[in-house]
Amino acid sequence: MRITVIGCGYVGLVTGTCLAEAGHQVVCTDNDAERVQTLKAGVVPIYEPHLDGLLTSNMRANRLSFTGDADSAVNSGDAIFICVGTPPKENGDADLSAIDNVARLIATEVHASKLVVEKSTVPAQTGQQLKRVLSVYRRDSAVEFRVASNPEFLREGSAVEDFLHPERIVLGVEDENSEKQLHEIYRPILEAKFHCPVHWSGCPSATPPKLVVTTINSAELIKHASNSFLAMKISYANMIADLCEKVGADIKEVVNAMGLDPRIGPQFLNAGLGFGGFCLPKDVQAFVRLAERSGVNFNMLKEAEQVNKRRIDLFMEKIRQALWVIKDKQVGILGLAFKANTDDIRFAPSLEVIRRLLAEGAQVRAYDQEAMDKTSAIFPQVQFCRGPHDVARDADALLLLTEWPEFRQLDWTRIYELMSRPLILDGRNLLDPATMMDIGFEYHSFGRPVEKPLPQLMPSASAMLDSSPSISQQT
Ligand code: UDX
């Protein structure tokens, strides 16, 4: 099928490239001329594993192309996927102006009937507005627009894998033709039969995804409800971590056992600095606003948002407790991206931590595998290092802010020797406290013991303790 993708950001690039990989003829367009030029040269302007290889191979096979000419692009596809940004406004609402612009462009420039698919994350009922704009601005009354919602569930860092091997494909449709057309577009993925050229680890290619056909309103709500639930899960784990610190329990032990219950599941229960990125924080805000406007009290979600904001305060308090005076201290940072396997720093907790450290007069040094260029544009006063050892050299404290698995494998004994004061504040609960403390570090994380566990009591000693009178018996 011929497909047009409008918007060449994360979602648009992954959607366009993967639909081309699935055998369709795809034209992508964007109003950022520089971005289009870069893409025409086969260069992917973002870091996303496997995307560059698939993009260039599909361009070479003439299935994927990029153009700045939006008018011709919208006319070339039988289906148009809208993948433009919906950033948060000051009040938390999703800014839908890009969707509105694209809708008016399609309505005025298109000369034949089309299926218009919302792929961008939008609040419920946007599809209804989209239909209205398309019909109000339509120039040619013979042209018919059908609208569908097809939300994406792509995680940055594994977006290509998520697109080609999803657990579910949600189609919000209002007529049989749209459903058929979308089914045809996704057929190779639904059948999980097409040859996938990227044999990355964990590829669950044998399991075909579930197809979920709903109304447009439901499809839109599914996306916001899913991301908000994930955010609540993280905030819940973070509150349990705080409680663990108070009662002397270990958050890892608690969530490991909780996650064994299939009704709960093990994922998204990692406590630490909380969630960042361009999706979860903005989707939670937009969902809260949608609930408010609809007269539904969703305080539960508002609290999840507040819990997340307080993670940074709590982390700063831990730094202050350990370091005492922050001014003039050499603070090393490992990890800047909002999570591992991405160069994305949008709404990354690291940014707020750095801002506060600099405001308190710390000397900040940092390292990240992928996100240093983007961060240096915001914080020119930070010294960016070639590797973790340079960050650790003469540092008074080392902060772990992103869960890059590579940080686990570092030579921590060497790092211990390099530091001026062997102090680690692990904002992602990435390292093992006992191992760190054995090396000699003062080690702090979230919801885990700060002291080494006591050695197991000898049976005779524990028997003695059991038989000794308790304080209440004595008094
Ligand atoms: C998210 C959704 O997962 C995806 O389905 C949707 O389409 C887009 O938004 P993404 O933004 O790529 O994907 O990030 P995600 O993997 O969800 O992580 C979000 C944040 O939560 C990160 O900052 C991560 O570090 C944090 N996180 C995640 C935790 O703090 N604890 C966890 O247990 C999991």
Helices 216-247/280-293 angle, 10° precision: 110
Tell the residue number behind the tokens 């408010």, with chain if given.
292
| Closest residue to atom 13 of ligand 1, CA basis | 155
- For residue 132, the tally of other CB atoms under 10 A from its CB is 12
Same domain, 300 and 375: no
Same domain, 254 and 344: no
Q: For residue 273, which atom of ligand 1 is closest to its CA?
A: 30
Distance of CA 84 from the midpoint of ligand 1 (Å): 20
Same domain, 427 and 347: yes
> What is d(CA 224, CA 246) in angstroms, rounded to the nearest whole number?
33
Same domain, 42 and 136: yes
The neighbouring-strand residues paired with 333 are 366, 399
Residue 445: φ, ψ to 5°: -145, -155
| Closest residue to atom 16 of ligand 1, CA basis | 155
- What's the DSSP call for residue 299? H
> What is d(CA 241, CA 445) in angstroms, rounded to the nearest whole number?
10
Same domain, 41 and 188: yes
Distance of CA 439 from the midpoint of ligand 1 (Å): 32
Return the sign of the alpha-carbon dihedral for residues 220, 225, 228, 230: negative
The neighbouring-strand residues paired with 400 are 334, 426
Same domain, 353 and 232: no
Residue 146: φ, ψ to 5°: -110, 140
Contacts of 261 (CB under 8 A, 6+ apart): none
Find, among 237, 231, 264, the residue nearest to 253 by Cα: 237
279 flagged as catalytic: yes
Tell the residue number behind the tokens 């639930």, with chain if given.
229
For residue 465, being part of any structural domain is answered with no
| Closest residue to atom 25 of ligand 1, CA basis | 339
- For residue 297, the tally of other CB atoms under 10 A from its CB is 9
Return the best residue to mutate from 10, 268, 275, 338 for the ligand 1 pocket (most ligand atoms within 8 A of CB).
Answer: 275
Find, among 410, 411, 442, the residue nearest to 425 by Cα: 442
Q: What is the pLDDT of residue 198?
A: 54
For residue 471, being part of any structural domain is answered with no
End-to-end CA distance of the chain: 83
Residue 203: φ, ψ to 5°: -70, 110
From 272, 294, 310, give the residue that closes a domain: 310
Global pTM reads 0.90
Q: What is the pLDDT of residue 463?
A: 44
Supply 319's token pair: 């730094």
Same domain, 329 and 275: no
Q: Which residues line ligand 1 (CB under 6 A)?
A: 152-156, 227, 230, 234, 268-270, 272, 274-277, 279-280, 338-339, 403
For the stretch 36-40, contacts whose Cβ atoms lie closer than 8 Å and that sit 24 or more positions apart, written own/partner, are 36/8, 36/66, 36/67, 36/68, 37/68, 39/8, 39/13, 39/66, 40/65, 40/66
> What is d(CA 287, CA 231) in angstroms, rounded to the nearest whole number?
12
Distance of CA 230 from the midpoint of ligand 1 (Å): 8
Same domain, 41 and 90: yes
Q: What is the pLDDT of residue 450?
A: 74
For residue 456, being part of any structural domain is answered with no
| Closest residue to atom 7 of ligand 1, CA basis | 153
Same domain, 170 and 132: yes
Return the best residue to mutate from 222, 226, 256, 280 for the ligand 1 pocket (most ligand atoms within 8 A of CB).
Answer: 280
Q: What is the pLDDT of residue 453?
A: 52
For residue 451, being part of any structural domain is answered with no
> What is d(CA 197, CA 209) in angstroms, rounded to the nearest whole number?
19
Same domain, 169 and 291: no
For residue 464, being part of any structural domain is answered with no
Q: What is the pLDDT of residue 33?
A: 97
Q: What is the pLDDT of residue 195?
A: 54
Q: How many domains does the chain have?
A: 3
Per-residue pLDDT of the chain (475 residues; tens, 9 = 90+): 999 999 999 999 999 999 999 999 999 999 999 999 999 999 999 889 899 999 999 999 999 999 999 999 999 999 999 999 999 899 988 999 999 999 999 999 999 999 999 999 999 999 999 999 999 999 988 999 999 999 999 999 999 989 998 999 999 999 999 999 999 999 999 987 655 555 444 455 557 899 999 999 999 999 999 999 999 999 999 999 999 999 999 999 999 999 999 999 999 999 999 999 999 999 999 999 999 999 999 999 999 999 999 999 999 999 999 999 999 999 999 999 999 999 999 999 999 999 999 999 999 999 999 999 999 999 999 999 999 999 999 999 999 999 999 999 999 999 999 999 999 999 999 999 999 999 999 999 999 977 655 555 554 444 444 444 333 333 3
For residue 198, being part of any structural domain is answered with yes
> What is d(CA 272, CA 242) in angstroms, rounded to the nearest whole number?
10
| Closest residue to atom 14 of ligand 1, CA basis | 155
Q: What is the CATH number of the domain that holds 305?
A: 1.10.1040.10
Supply 181's token pair: 């057309």
Q: What is the CATH number of the domain that holds 68?
A: 3.40.50.720
For residue 239, being part of any structural domain is answered with yes
Taking only the tens place, the pLDDT of each residue in 156-204 is: 999 998 999 899 999 999 999 999 999 999 999 998 765 555 544 445 5
Q: What is the pLDDT of residue 465?
A: 42
Distance of CA 401 from the midpoint of ligand 1 (Å): 14
Range of the domain at 267: 223-310
Judge contact between 73 and 23, C-beta under 8 A.
no
Same domain, 325 and 357: yes
Q: What is the pLDDT of residue 208?
A: 83
For residue 196, being part of any structural domain is answered with yes
From 196, 214, 232, give the residue that closes a domain: 214
Q: What is the pLDDT of residue 471?
A: 36
Distance of CA 261 from the midpoint of ligand 1 (Å): 21
Same domain, 164 and 39: yes
- For residue 51, the tally of other CB atoms under 10 A from its CB is 19
